[in-house]
Amino acid sequence: MTDHVLSLSSSLPTLLETKSDYCRLRIRFNHLSRERRLLTCLLILFAIIMFGLLIGIFILSWTFQGRTPIIYREINSTNIGTSDGVARYGESCDNDSGCERPFMCHKKGTSTPGMCRCPLKYDFIRDQCVGDLNALCTKDTDCQQYMLCMGMNDGTRRCQCQKQFEYDNPRRRCRGDYQAPCESNIDCRANLVCNKTITPSVCSCESHYQYHPSVRKCRGDPGAVCDRATAECVDNAECRDGACECSHQFVPDDNKICVDPCPSQVPNPARIRYPGNCRRFIDCQQKSKTECPEMTIFNLRTQLCDYPKNVFDCR
């Protein structure tokens, strides 16, 4: 009996080791099965995506097969009254000869009819095709307002902005600089307005603004109405409470230029009186301007705000 028990006890570790190995193999098998299932799903998904892409490419190639691109070419006129064909802008066509000049037949495919459109870089404005910047042209009337048909180095003639005008990409038009002719504010560059009080009307600055050629902008004098977001004030000035005002210690002179009134000598007084204002003073060290409380004025001798009876040099 004892020998039998001993034999069982000796074989027990072997059985436990065998069962442990079996469990590890089972766990590894389960993991391997999940990985295989995941890999299979990924392969199927990849195949579906590739199949969809192939279908999309086939549809696009079939849709745009035989499409006729609009290309640069010289045109004889932008007047739609002179025509070879009968189709007008937006009407269907089979080829360019079926459209009134200077329209071109824009087709998406060989089996579908096209539509009469303006040539490349031309816009349909007021019943005619008008050339944009760098559009091929034969005469000035082919181009939009404030453009001329100019000869280029490559031998072609293209629409270019007139003198005193520059091209505004967002608005897709030529806009005038200072003193350029205009009909409305849109004809002038940003920060300029069309002055219609003179004949002919020209682009100029608003009231209390002066044109600065170095920056090609109108900049507001001290006191000029301004918008903080788009303010353009003179040097050493900034937009405060809707008006241009000299910043820091600067004050406006007779020419409406912001100047520094602080003495250049060293050492200089810490505070000086604001020109023409007894209540205000300028702190030259802090580079700021301050106003004394009501019923007080600045005392230059004490460098403080004081009662008027104690200040004899300013009333």
* Bond before 269 cis per omega within 30 degrees: no
Q: Look at residue 103 and tell me if it is in a domain.
A: yes
Residue finishing a domain among 120, 137, 161: 161
**CA–CA–CA angle 157, 161, 162 (5° rounding):** 100
Q: Look at residue 235 and tell me if it is in a domain.
A: no
Cα torsion through 160, 162, 165, 167, rounded to 10:
-10
Task: Please tell me the predicted confidence (pLDDT) of residue 307.
Answer: 93
**In 3D, which of 113, 119, 95 has the Cα closest to residue 105?**
95
Q: Look at residue 297 and tell me if it is in a domain.
A: yes
Residue finishing a domain among 161, 183, 212: 161
- The Cα–Cα gap between 215 and 188 comes to 16
Task: Please tell me the predicted confidence (pLDDT) of residue 265.
Answer: 66
The residue count for the chain: 315
Domain hosting 115: range is 92-161
Q: Look at residue 298 and tell me if it is in a domain.
A: yes
Residue finishing a domain among 161, 192, 221: 161
User: What is the per-residue pLDDT across 126-148, written as a single tens digit (0 to 9) for each?
Assistant: 788 888 999 988 889 889 999 99
Count: domains in the chain: 2
DSSP structure string for 41-63 = HHHHHHHHHHHHHHHHHHHHHHH
Q: Look at residue 281 and tell me if it is in a domain.
A: yes
Q: Look at residue 106 and tell me if it is in a domain.
A: yes
Task: Please tell me the predicted confidence (pLDDT) of residue 104.
Answer: 84
Task: Please tell me the predicted confidence (pLDDT) of residue 27.
Answer: 63
- The Cα–Cα gap between 38 and 46 comes to 12
Ranges of residues in the chain with a pLDDT under 50 are 1-9, 12, 15-16, 29, 66-83
Tell me what the pLDDT averaged over the chain comes to. Answer: 80
Task: Please tell me the predicted confidence (pLDDT) of residue 66.
Answer: 44
- The Cα–Cα gap between 205 and 257 comes to 17
Structure tokens at 245: 């005002």
Contact 222, 208 (CB under 8 A): no
DSSP structure string for 133-146 = TT-B-SSGGGBPTT
- Output DSSP code: residue 309: G
Task: Please tell me the predicted confidence (pLDDT) of residue 292.
Answer: 94
- The Cα–Cα gap between 210 and 258 comes to 14
Pairing of strands 193-195, 202-204: antiparallel
Q: Look at residue 238 and tell me if it is in a domain.
A: no
- pTM, two decimals, is 0.51
Task: Please tell me the predicted confidence (pLDDT) of residue 69.
Answer: 41
Q: Look at residue 243 and tell me if it is in a domain.
A: no
